[in-house]
C-alpha cells in the first residue's frame, strides 16, 4: 500500500474528509486503474460535499495541468483561452526543465561508477560524472512528459503543443502566428509533409511586403531544440571515447491519431477556400498496431448481425444476437448457480468493483471439475466450454484475423444487486476501463504498461439473461464520461471489440436481480494462452476418447482436474 493510500485512510478515520478526498484523488491520478480508490473518492465527495472542480492533485505538474486545460478549451472551440493555456504550459515547462536540469547536478553515489577500481583518483572519475549529469539533463524531456506514477510518457509535449496550437490561431490572430508555430513544429519533425503543406498555405496568406523567410520558428523552442541536439552529439562523442554504448531515444514522438481532413493539399488553389490550417482532430483514438478489418463471415447458422463499428460509434466493435439459444441460456444459468464462487478472480473480494453488488465467478476448468465430480451435469459444464470456443471462432472470423486467436481468460460472471443498497446509488457496476491498458481520462491516454493485461487483443461478452434491472454495457470516449453506445444484455447477445484504449467501456449499476454473462479475453500471442484453458482442452480430449470407448491416452481426467 502506498503512502497516499495510507493517508487517505488516516484522514478518513480522523473525519477530515476533504483531505481524504485530496489524498485519494492524488493517488488516483497516478493510478487510474485503481477502481477501489475511485469508489472511495466518490464516497468521500458525497459525504464532504466536494465538487469535482475542487479536486486537487498534489503531485500534478503545472505544465501538464495547463496543457490539459488548453485542450479542454480547444475542444470547446474556445480558441483564445486555449492559446492562453498553451502559452502558459510552455512557460511552465521551461521553468520545470530548468529545475530538472539543476537537480541532475547533485551528488552521485560512487558505487554506480562501473569502472572505479583501486588506484583511480576522483579526478579520473570526473568525465564519467559529467556524462552522467549530461545524460540526466538530456532525459528531462522524457521526465517532464511523464505524469507522476506512470511509466509511459505522453506523446511528447512539444509536438502536442505546437500542432494543437497552430490550428486555432488562424481564426483568432494571423497567418504569421500559424507560420511561427508550424515552423517550430518542423524543428522536431522537418519531414512532416502535412505541416510542410500547411507552411506553404500560411505563406500564401502573407502580404506581398512580407518575406516568408523572415518569419522563423519561435525563439524559445529553437534554442531548446538546438541545445538538445548539441547534448546528443556530446553524449555520443563521450560514449565513443569512454567505451560505453549509447542509443539516442526518439524523444519527439509525433502526435498520433491526427485526422487530416482539414489539411491543405499541396498544389491546391486556396483562394477563397474555407480552410483552417493544420487539423489535429478532437479526441483521437489510440492507434492499433495491426491492420483493422471486419465484416468476415459469422460461420454459424441463425446468428443475427445487429451493429458494426460504425453503427456503434467506434472502432473494431460488433454486436450479434442468437449466439445462444433460450435453452442454452437457461442451462448455463443453472450451471452458474452451481459452480459460482464469491469474488472468484478478485482474490475473494465479494464486491471488487462496487459495494452495492455481489460478484461471483467461475472458470471453465472449474466447471469441468464440478461436472466430472457430479456436482453439476457434465453436459452442462461442457456447454460452457463449447460456447466459449464458438465465441472465439466468431471473433476470429468476423474481424478477419490473419493469425490464430487464443484464449487469454475465460470467466463466467454474475453480478447481483444487494437489497437495501440501491437508493441514491451513483456508481457503476464496473467502472469505465480498457482491457489491455490503464485508462487515464485526465490525460486522454491509455497507458499500455503493467499492471494492465497488455497482451490482450480482443474481448467478448456473451449474455445469458435479461431478467434484471440496469446493467447496460456502455462504450465511452477516453474521457470515461461521454457515452458513445449503450447495449442492453439479453439471452444470446454478444458484444465483441478490440481490447485497447480505443474501446473504453463499463457496466451500469445492476439495481435489481442478477446479471450473468460469459466474459472472454483473447490474445494473438500464444505465449499468453490461458493455462486453465489448455488443461480444459486436455480434459475435453480425454472425455471424447472415453466417450468413443478408446483409451489411447494414458491420462486420468481427474488428475488434470
- Residue-wise pLDDT for 100-117, tens only, equals 999 888 765 555 544 444
| Lowest mean pLDDT, pick from 47-61, 82-96, 360-374 | 47-61
SS3 state of residue 160: helix
Residue 155 known to be catalytic: no
The answer to whether residue 410 scores a pLDDT higher than 70 is yes
- Residue-wise pLDDT for 101-160, tens only, equals 998 887 655 555 444 444 455 555 677 778 888 888 988 888 887 766 555 555 556 656
Percent of the chain at pLDDT above 90?
34
Cell of 334: 443453472
Q: How far is CA 183 from CA 178, 218, 219, 223, in A?
A: 8, 8, 11, 13
Distance, CA of 121 to CA of 118 (rounded, Å): 9
Percent of the chain at pLDDT above 70?
75
Average pLDDT taken over every residue of the chain? 79
Distance, CA of 214 to CA of 196 (rounded, Å): 17
Distance, CA of 238 to CA of 544 (rounded, Å): 66
Best CA proximity match to 496, nearest among 340, 296, 330: 296
b/e map of 442-481 (b: 16 or more CB within 10 Å)? bbbbbbbeeebbbbbbbbbbbbbbbebebbbbbbbbbebe
Distance, CA of 306 to CA of 321 (rounded, Å): 7
pLDDT value, residue 183? 84
Best CA proximity match to 167, nearest among 266, 267, 272, 70: 70
The pTM is what? 0.59
pLDDT value, residue 33? 53
The contacts of residue 226 (CB under 8 Å, 6+ apart) are: none
Cell of 394: 466468431
Place of cell 521551461: 94
pLDDT value, residue 457? 95
pLDDT value, residue 257? 32
- What's the chain's length in residues? 561
**Under a CB-based contact definition with an 8 Å cutoff, are residues 477 and 545 in contact?**
no
pLDDT value, residue 2? 58
Cell of 139: 532525459
The contacts of residue 489 (CB under 8 Å, 6+ apart) are: 461, 463, 465, 466, 471, 472, 473, 515, 517
- Residue-wise pLDDT for 487-538, tens only, equals 999 999 999 999 999 999 999 999 999 999 999 999 998 888 998 899 899 8
The answer to whether residue 252 scores a pLDDT higher than 80 is no
Q: What is the DSSP letter of 296?
A: -
- For residues 258 and 271, the model is more confident at 271
Distance, CA of 168 to CA of 467 (rounded, Å): 51
Average pLDDT for residues 89-93, to the nearest whole number?
A: 89
Distance, CA of 324 to CA of 493 (rounded, Å): 7
- Give the helix/strand (H/E) hosting 25: helix 17-30
**Under a CB-based contact definition with an 8 Å cutoff, are residues 168 and 74 in contact?**
yes
Task: Please state the φ and ψ torsions of residue 187, each to the nearest 5 degrees.
Answer: -60, -30
Helix ranges (H only) for 277-405 are 326-339, 364-372, 378-398
The answer to whether residue 244 scores a pLDDT higher than 50 is yes
Contacts for 210-218 with beta carbons within 8 Å, 24 or more apart? 210/176, 212/179, 215/176, 215/179, 215/180, 215/183, 216/180, 216/183, 217/180, 217/183, 217/184, 217/186, 217/187, 218/180, 218/181, 218/183, 218/184
The answer to whether residue 474 scores a pLDDT higher than 80 is yes
| Lowest mean pLDDT, pick from 9-13, 329-333, 409-413 | 9-13
Distance, CA of 197 to CA of 166 (rounded, Å): 13
pLDDT value, residue 287? 54
Distance, CA of 27 to CA of 10 (rounded, Å): 14
The contacts of residue 209 (CB under 8 Å, 6+ apart) are: none
Best CA proximity match to 532, nearest among 319, 367, 308: 367
pLDDT value, residue 255? 41
Active-site annotation holder among 415, 456, 515, 533: 515
3 state SS for 431-462: EEECCCCEEECCCCEEECCCCCCCCCCEEEEE
Average pLDDT for residues 202-229, to the nearest whole number?
A: 83
Cell of 7: 493517508
- For residues 351 and 165, the model is more confident at 351
Amino acid at each position: 500500500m502506498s503512502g497516499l493510500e495510507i493517508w487517505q485512510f488516516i484522514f478518513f478515520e480522523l473525519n477530515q474528509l476533504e483531505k481524504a478526498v485530496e489524498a485519494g484523488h492524488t493517488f488516483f491520478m497516478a493510478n487510474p486503474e485503481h477502481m477501489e480508490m475511485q469508489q472511495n473518492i466518490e464516497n468521500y465527495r458525497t459525504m464532504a460535499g466536494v465538487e469535482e472542480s475542487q479536486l486537487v492533485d498534489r503531485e500534478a505538474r503545472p505544465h501538464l495541468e495547463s496543457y490539459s486545460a488548453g485542450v479542454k478549451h480547444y475542444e470547446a472551440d474556445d480558441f483564445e483561452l486555449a492559446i492562453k493555456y498553451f502559452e502558459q504550459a510552455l512557460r511552465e515547462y521551461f521553468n520545470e526543465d530548468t529545475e530538472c536540469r539543476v537537480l541532475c547536478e547533485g551528488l552521485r553515489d560512487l558505487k554506480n561508477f562501473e569502472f572505479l577500481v583501486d588506484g583511480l583518483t576522483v579526478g579520473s572519475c570526473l568525465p564519467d560524472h559529467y556524462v552522467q549529469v549530461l545524460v540526466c539533463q538530456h532525459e528531462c524531456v522524457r521526465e517532464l512528459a511523464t505524469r507522476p506514477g506512470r511509466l509511459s510518457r505522453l506523446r511528447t509535449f512539444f509536438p502536442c503543443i505546437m500542432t494543437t496550437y497552430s490550428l486555432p490561431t488562424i481564426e483568432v490572430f494571423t497567418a504569421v502566428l500559424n507560420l511561427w508555430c508550424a515552423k517550430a513544429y518542423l524543428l522536431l519533425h522537418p519531414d512532416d509533409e502535412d505541416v510542410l503543406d500547411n507552411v506553404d498555405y500560411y505563406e500564401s496568406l502573407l502580404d506581398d511586403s512580407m518575406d516568408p523567410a523572415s518569419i522563423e520558428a519561435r525563439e524559445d523552442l529553437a534554442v531548446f531544440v538546438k541545445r538538445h541536439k548539441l547534448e546528443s552529439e556530446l553524449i555520443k562523442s563521450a560514449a565513443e571515447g569512454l567505451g560505453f554504448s549509447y542509443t539516442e531515444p526518439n524523444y519527439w514522438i509525433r502526435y498520433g491519431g491526427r485526422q487530416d481532413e482539414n489539411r491543405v493539399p499541396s498544389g491546391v488553389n486556396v483562394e477563397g477556400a474555407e480552410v483552417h490550417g493544420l487539423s489535429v482532430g478532437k479526441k483521437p483514438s489510440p492507434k492499433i498496431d495491426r491492420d483493422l478489418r471486419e465484416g468476415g463471415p459469422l460461420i454459424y447458422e441463425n446468428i443475427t448481425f445487429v451493429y458494426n463499428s460504425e453503427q456503434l460509434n467506434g472502432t473494431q466493435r460488433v454486436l450479434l444476437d442468437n449466439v445462444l439459444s433460450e435453452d442454452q441460456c437457461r442451462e448455463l444459468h443453472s450451471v452458474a448457480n452451481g459452480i459460482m464462487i464469491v469474488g472468484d478472480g478478485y482474490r475473494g473480494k465479494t464486491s471488487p468493483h462496487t459495494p452495492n453488488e455481489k460478484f461471483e465467478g467461475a472458470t471453465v476448468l472449474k466447471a469441468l471439475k464440478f461436472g466430472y465430480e457430479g456436482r453439476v451435469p457434465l453436459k452442462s459444464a461442457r456447454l460452457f466450454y463449447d460456447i466459449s470456443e464458438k465465441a472465439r471462432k466468431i471473433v476470429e472470423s468476423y474481424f478477419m484475423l490473419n493469425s490464430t486467436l487464443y484464449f487469454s481468460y475465460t470467466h463466467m460472471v454474475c453480478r447481483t444487486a444487494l437489497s437495501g443498497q440501491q437508493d441514491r446509488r451513483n456508481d457503476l457496476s464496473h467502472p469505465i476501463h480498457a482491457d489491455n491498458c490503464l485508462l487515464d481520462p485526465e490525460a486522454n491516454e491509455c497507458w499500455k504498461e503493467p499492471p494492465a493485461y497488455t497482451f490482450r487483443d480482443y474481448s467478448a461478452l456473451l449474455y445469458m439473461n435479461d431478467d434484471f434491472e440496469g446493467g447496460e454495457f456502455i462504450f465511452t470516449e477516453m474521457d470515461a464520461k461521454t457515452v458513445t453506445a449503450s447495449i442492453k444484455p439479453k439471452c444470446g447477445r454478444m458484444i465483441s471489440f478490440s481490447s485497447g484504449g480505443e474501446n473504453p467501456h463499463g457496466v451500469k449499476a445492476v439495481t435489481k436481480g442478477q446479471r450473468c454473462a460469459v466474459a472472454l479475453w483473447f490474445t494473438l500471442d500464444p505465449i499468453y494462452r490461458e493455462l486453465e484453458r489448455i488443461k480444459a482442452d486436455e480434459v475435453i480430449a480425454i472425455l471424447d476418447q472415453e466417450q468413443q470407448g478408446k483409451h489411447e491416452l494414458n491420462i486420468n481426467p481427474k488428475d488434470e482436474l
